[in-house]
Amino acid sequence: MVLLGAAGVGGWLYLRGVDKKVDRISVAALSDTKQSATTPEGIADGAMNILLLGSDSRDPDNTSGSRTDTIMVAHVSADHEDVQLVSIPRDTWVYVPESGDGEGGENAKINSAYAWGGADLMVQTVEKFTGLQLDHVMMIDFAGFKEIIDAVGGIDIKVDKTFTSIHAPHRKFTKNAAGTTTHMDGATALDYARQRKQFADGDFTRIAHQHQIIKAVMDKATSTGTITDLTKLTSFLNATASAITVDDTLSPLNLAWALRAIGSSDVTFLTNPTSGTPTIDGQSVVKSDTEKATELWESVGSDTVATWALANPSYVR
């Protein structure tokens, strides 16, 4: 019993050590109203809204000229039993508040907010656009994303159309026949998730592919026993730690533990409703469908988005 206890303490301390490897930033725009109401795992009690940002460079201290290519809001239900992941196309035309440096204060593509004011301005912009209170921020760089996929042994994806990557080595992805999938390592999956210029609907297909990959990672981690095999868990946590940056109030370890029972079948993938892709000020942008988007984000705020998704299946991807 003493040996088992020592092993358990050692394992916990090791995991805490992995948690400390994660890069952290202070995000003043985040509300702290939930910080005093926590579960035993140290996670905010009740529903949570986590802003997920992805790009080719996640250096939080050097945001000038950079853009967040992936913007998602992960809504964790109040009972922590399901998650809705809502993507916001990066070219969505929104009002960007003015940053402390005087940038913004105008309508622009939503991903401009990060270049003008980092995570703080992005939080303010998304909160203004959605009407939500965001609780946490998590940023992931695409290079680290490869390591996460490789840590689970690759993933299986049902390729939905045939196309060739615009990036070297110009991989060709072939549409899978019914009932078949393509196995992808991290580099291949990343290449698959990046492509948009070959598709008529551009970023919308890329968003659908990103959703596919997130679901496939969850499925693989569950089916291979990653959370119960120490070697696999170690590799996975180390890969995750090197790939992400979080706000200084979030513990990825505690979050993963609190949501450990959630599988891909408990996650609903949605995209913010849109109403066209006009040209504004010489830029091709994505217009949000004000009525439908308001309905969606109000349902997120009231923790009823699962019901809204059932009534609006065209926005579920």
- In one letter, which amino acid is 69? D
**Domain 2-315: which topology?**
Aminopeptidase (3.40.630)
Q: Parse the chain into domains and list their residue ranges.
A: 2-315
pLDDT of residue 255: 81
Q: Which of 113-122, 253-262, 274-283 has the lowest mean pLDDT?
A: 253-262
Q: Which of 51-55, 209-213, 223-227 has the lowest mean pLDDT?
A: 223-227
What is the token pair recorded at 135? 């609780």
More confident residue, 237 or 92: 92
User: Would you place residue 23 in the very low, low, confident or very high pLDDT band (cuts 50, 70, 90)?
Assistant: confident
Q: What average pLDDT score do residues 119-147 get?
A: 89
pLDDT digits (tens, 9 = 90+) for 61-115: 444 555 678 999 999 999 888 999 999 999 999 999 999 888 999 999 999 999 9
pLDDT digits (tens, 9 = 90+) for 135-177: 999 998 766 778 888 888 899 999 999 999 999 999 999 999 9
Q: What average pLDDT score do residues 221-242 get?
A: 71
pLDDT of residue 230: 61
pLDDT of residue 172: 97
pLDDT of residue 31: 65
pTM of the model: 0.85
